[in-house]
Structure 1
Amino acid sequence: MILPVTFQTNPYLILDFTENNPDLATLDLTDTAVFTDYVFGQLRRNGAAVGVGGYNEHRVIYRRSAHFNQTDEPRCIHLGMDLWAAAGTPVFAPLDGVVHSFQDNDQFGDYGPTLILEHERNGKPLFSLYGHLSRLSLTGLQRGKRVATGQKIGEIGPYPENGDWPPHLHFQLMTDLLGHQGDFPGVCSVSERERFLAICPNPNELLRIPGLP
């Protein structure tokens, strides 16, 4: 369990942020309050406790931020899974591990406060990233600190301190950090898709949310 929700019994909603969702064309996604009202309005209307989805999704929402559009080929392929829930929702470690690194990636559209844990799975290293946390979540952390399965490791942050997004957790797995510390690409370009998916396995292998691949 990574949030205080049991996906096998609690209602959840799969959210679509591709061009197939006509709602997105009518929203000013650069206005985080408008974006937040849309996300949580969808959850309320569907009686959902949390919104989920996004792994390997070709998204249009990254057009809202220059952070994803700094080259001729914009980044649009989501490499993690998003769990959309209220700010302050606790986040729990899904596996035993240690704190690898952390930092506040503080710019519009970025992760905001970010934590990376290091684990061992099947005799090999596995890293997990938690983006859009509260700043308080980084207080008192130190590299190498041990973390147990089910231990609280932070909380979902409010905007704007969470990178100026509607409150949610970006959860991502990596088998290779490529030298990164406290940060790792959560979105890649179409041409980079195959390379990044090879080292960013599907987080639902751990979360096991029904209805998602």
Structure 2
Amino acid sequence: MTKILEILHSIQCAKVIAPEIDYTKYIPLDLSVSNTELQYIKLETASDYEIFIQNHLDKYKGKIAFGGYIETRNLYKRSTVFKNNTSDERNIHIGLDLWINEPATIHAALDGKIHSFQNNTALGDYGPTIILEHEVEEIKFHTLYGHLSEASLIGKKVGNVVRKGEQIATLGLPPINGDYAPHLHFQLIFDMEKKKGDYPGVCNEKMLHFYKSNCPDPNLLLKIA
């Protein structure tokens, strides 16, 4: 574990969305339950979130809003993927979100190959998703790109080689993207646990220790701030 974290620290930063936008235009966004501002704003639909996020970007003169790693959120309550009668509620986000209300290209964080891809169609899920496999200094790990366009999956084949910075997808729009305001869910994953085309991006408190270990902070690689 220590070695892979050291490797992630040492890798030159990689932009995974709209690489023409400078990091100085990235603005932090807090969607956690502790953000009291959210208590006074109607946030129920994808459109509600689009308006809220655009207002946030306009206020701080930004182009991309980012954040969400290990953030406890209320926005998943509408979906039975995360809240149902048969399992513990999942509401802790274990990836990094990059929100942008305009068309955007999605790019490979590192050299690698396509591990798997799938359209996860349930309300609140990832929608079209691509997972890449990487190997650095004989250590394998994965990057997940969720909430993509349907066209992003066309022509993809497991095992296809990709290069760092190569465009692999375009951003999806609601409702295809799981019915969210447009954003990329980017996640680091060490052990895929034999899953393909999908991997949890939200967990419950009981499993948080495991997922923090298996899915470290994506900003180790992106180095936004």
TM-score range, shorter chain: over 0.9
Q: Which runs of 5+ in 1 are unaligned?
A: none
Whether the aligned pair in 2 keeps the contact of 1:50 and 1:85 (CA below 8 Å) is yes
In the alignment, what sits opposite 2:175? 160
Whether the aligned pair in 2 keeps the contact of 1:102 and 1:115 (CA below 8 Å) is yes
In the alignment, what sits opposite 1:11? 25
In the alignment, what sits opposite 2:187? 172
In the alignment, what sits opposite 2:56? 42
**Is 63-72 or 31-40 further displaced after alignment?**
63-72
Deviations 1:158-182, CA, capped at 9 Å, x for gaps: 1111000000000001000011110
Matched, 1:138 2:138: no
Q: 2:40, 2:24 → 1: CA distance? A: 30
Deviations 1:60-95, CA, capped at 9 Å, x for gaps: 222232221124521111111000013420011110
Whether the aligned pair in 2 keeps the contact of 1:90 and 1:156 (CA below 8 Å) is yes
In the alignment, what sits opposite 2:75? 61
| Counterpart code for 1:47 | K
Closer, same or farther: CA 9–81 of 1 in aligned 2, 3 Å: closer
In the alignment, what sits opposite 1:86? 101
In the alignment, what sits opposite 2:206? 191
Matched, 1:109 2:124: yes
Q: CA deviation at 1:33?
A: 1.0
**Is 19-28 or 124-133 further displaced after alignment?**
19-28
**TM-score, structure 1 length as denominator?**
0.93
In the alignment, what sits opposite 1:122? 137
Q: 2:155, 2:224 → 1: CA distance? A: 32
Whether the aligned pair in 1 keeps the contact of 2:23 and 2:224 (CA below 8 Å) is no
Moved over 6 A (4+): none
Q: 1:122, 1:56 → 2: CA distance? A: 28
**Is 33-42 or 148-157 further displaced after alignment?**
33-42
**TM-score, structure 2 length as denominator?**
0.88
Identity among equivalent pairs (%): 40
Q: 1:167, 1:201 → 2: CA distance? A: 23
Whether the aligned pair in 2 keeps the contact of 1:57 and 1:78 (CA below 8 Å) is yes
| Counterpart code for 2:110 | L
Q: CA deviation at 1:7?
A: 7.5
Q: CA deviation at 1:20?
A: 1.9
In the alignment, what sits opposite 2:115? 100
Q: Let me know the Cα RMSD of the aligned residues.
A: 1.6
**Partner of 2:17: helix, strand, or coil?**
coil
Closer, same or farther: CA 9–192 of 1 in aligned 2, 3 Å: closer
**Partner of 1:20: helix, strand, or coil?**
coil
Number of residue-to-residue matches in the alignment:
210
In the alignment, what sits opposite 2:36? 22
Q: CA deviation at 1:38?
A: 0.9
Q: CA deviation at 1:37?
A: 1.0
